[in-house]
Structure 1
């Protein structure tokens, strides 16, 4: 089954499994978004710049500050 995605959606990489997290254009700060592969939960802290905070207790997520794009 194909899921229609907003053309303006932002796709971020999940820190837990490397899967895709879709942030649709109608999302707002404090919304919860999920990884399509492992279903890890993230809260949107900021949209500009985009900052996501993991809501699960994975060891990988604890190593990072909560900002995507600030580590390689």
Structure 2
């Protein structure tokens, strides 16, 4: 888990749409860079930095998000 009280000004933290974990976008990231969720390791493409827009890379847009979330619950069973 990322410390959200960190004093670093140029770090943005986004919530993962799959598991609710933290996606850290630091000051060195640029548009079209890859970042990932610290919990489920889903990869995201940075589409925009201002405002921050991330696009999941390994998700079929026709998939049900709730069904995808279930696959991560199996890892912890």
Compute the TM-score of the two structures, normalised by the length of structure 1: 0.71
**Matched residue count:** 56
Larger Rg: 2
SS in 2 for 1:44: strand
Kindly report the root-mean-square deviation, in angstroms, between the aligned alpha carbons of the 2 structures: 1.7
Q: Which runs of 5+ in 2 are unaligned?
A: 1-5, 66-77
4+ residue stretches of structure 1 with deviation over 3 A?
none
Normalization by structure 2: what TM-score? 0.67
| Structure richer in helix, relative to its length | 2
Residue of 26, 44, 49 corresponding to 1:47: 49
Map of 1:16 onto structure 2: 18
Task: Give distance in 2, aligned partners of 1:14 and 1:41.
Answer: 10
Distance 1:16 1:29, change over 3 A: same
